[in-house]
Structures are given as structure tokens and as C-alpha cells.
Structure 1
Amino acid sequence: MNAYLNAMRKYATFAGRATRAEYWLFMLVLFGISAVALVLDAAVSSPFSQSTIFIGITYLVHFLPNLAVTVRRLHDTGHSGWWVLVCPVALFFLCLQGSPGANAYGVTPAGQLNDRDDGRERGGRATVGPLTQLNLTEELERLAQLRANGSLTDTEFDVMKARLLAKGA
């Protein structure tokens, strides 16, 4: 539900990135809301007229947030938001894993910390040891930027910072 609410709060934010989970959870909740709207429309319809008021309002309210979260999801995979105009290709990109680390569209979203507890990077290659000083600095800067733009609360920042510093030690 947080992914849905986050996408609705960023209804007109086309810059930045959205995780795969954020995108698909938003779509799942939208599907559920649409199903409820269809049932309500069927309940208020008469035998002589079909009502589409609830589903119409649902799609009208969700059009811009849906477009924005889709563009941010494409950004997470390293692709331009304009790919949304080529639906089959965009659907393929939406299923891909996001690019690790920062890309041309911003830093890694808050939920995608580069956790290396299992000793593996995202590409599947084993790491030589703990986080390097450069990686640690980059991750701390990324967390500070997420806190500055409001994506992380101070408490979340402190917890993630402590976890990173414990790994780096």
C-alpha cells in the first residue's frame, strides 16, 4: 500500500526512478480499485443503460500518477520515458531489474540499497571483501541526498546509515 501512496504523492514527478516493486504494487492496487469500480458501476446500472461513472473517475484520477510512475520505472532501467509511447517495448523494460547505482536519471531508489550481505553484487559476481571506502562514501552521499529530497525520514536515514557503517567496518 505504501508503494501506491508513494506513487500518488508523486503524481506529477516524472524525474527520478521507481523500483520494480513500487511500480508493480501500484499497478496491483490500481487493478483492485478498478475491479471495485467496475462492480459499483454494474450495481448502479439499469437494464437499459450502462453506467461507467466509477471506472471513469478511477481512470481519470489515476492517469497522471500511472504515467509518472511508469516513466520513473523506465528511468530506473536506464531508458527514456518516451519509450512509454511504444507499449510492447516499454512493457519489456518495465520488467527488467533497475540499473545498480546512479544512472542518468538519478540515484538508486531508497528501497534498493546495494546490500552485500551475501557477498554478491547485483551482477552475480562475488565481491572481494567488505564495502570499499569509495563505495561507502557513495552510498552515504546517496542516502544524504534521499533524506534531503524527502524520500527518507531522519529515522530511516539513521538506521540505513548505521547499517552501512556496520558493513563497512
Structure 2
Amino acid sequence: MDYFIGALKKYADFSGRARRKEYWMFILIYIIINVVLAVLGLNVISMLVGLGLLIPSISIAARRLHDTGRSGWWQLIALLPLIGFIVLIVFLVQDGQETNDYGVNPKFFEPV
């Protein structure tokens, strides 16, 4: 849950880097929230939650792409039917680079 709250604290921060774990934990919690709301029949609330989390989702994906050495604008490749989504997923699952234009690898700052 800390990763989800951390992403919300960086609501519209499109600079810096995000580790794979941070990104995928945010996505997992996001999906769980939407599934629970859908099972409870709260579709309108689910849509509002999705709309409220749109900017944090875009910003954490941009930071994740920065970790792999790519610009956050690569998210637009998902607009290409099927192929774009697959390419974006491949970019998001790659390991981060040591140091790049977007800063130092965040793995160096996390305690073991």
C-alpha cells in the first residue's frame, strides 16, 4: 500500500524515476480497487476512481519509462492498435539503467 500512497503523493510529478516494483504495485492495487468496486456493483464510483487516478497513472508510467532511459512520451505508442500496447508493456518490464538523463538509479537509495 505504501507504493500506492507514494504514487499519489507524487500526483503530477513527471520527473524522476520509478522502480519496477513501485510501478507494478501501484497497478496491482489500482486493479484490485476497480475489481472490488465492480463486484459490488458500484460502476459509477469505479469510473470516478479511474478518472481520479488517471493523472497519477500517467505520471508513474512516465517515471517508469524514465527508469528505462526512455521519454514519458513513449506512452503514446499504446494508441497503436495491439502492437503499441505490447511494445509499451515490454518497455515497462525492462530493468532500469544505472544512471541516465533522468537521474540516478532509485535502487541505490532503497534499503535492503
Q: Give your verdict on TM over 0.5.
A: yes
Separation (CA, whole Å) in 2 of partners of 1:36 and 1:62:
16
1:85 CA displacement: 0.5
Aligned to 1:131: none
Bigger radius of gyration? 1
What are the Cα deviations for residues 78-116 of structure 1, in whole angstroms up to 9, with x where unaligned?
Answer: 00111100122221100000111x21011222xx12xxx
TM-score when scaled to structure 2? 0.86
Which portions of structure 1, spanning 4 or more consecutive aligned residues, are displaced by more than 2 angstroms?
none
- Larger relative contact order (CA 8 Å, sep ≥ 6): 2
Can you give the 5+ residue segments of structure 2 that lack an aligned partner in the other structure?
A: 79-84
- 1:6-85 to 2 correspondence within 5 Å? 6-40=6-40, 42=41, 52-85=43-76
Can you give the 5+ residue segments of structure 1 that lack an aligned partner in the other structure?
A: 45-51, 114-142, 144-155, 164-169
Aligned pairs, how many?
105
* Letter of the structure 1 residue corresponding to residue 31 of structure 2: F
* Letter of the structure 2 residue corresponding to residue 95 of structure 1: V
| Identity within the alignment, % | 41
Alpha-carbon contact 1:74-1:90 (below 8 Å) kept = no
* Letter of the structure 1 residue corresponding to residue 19 of structure 2: T
TM-score when scaled to structure 1? 0.58
Work out whether 1:97 is the aligned partner of 2:88. no
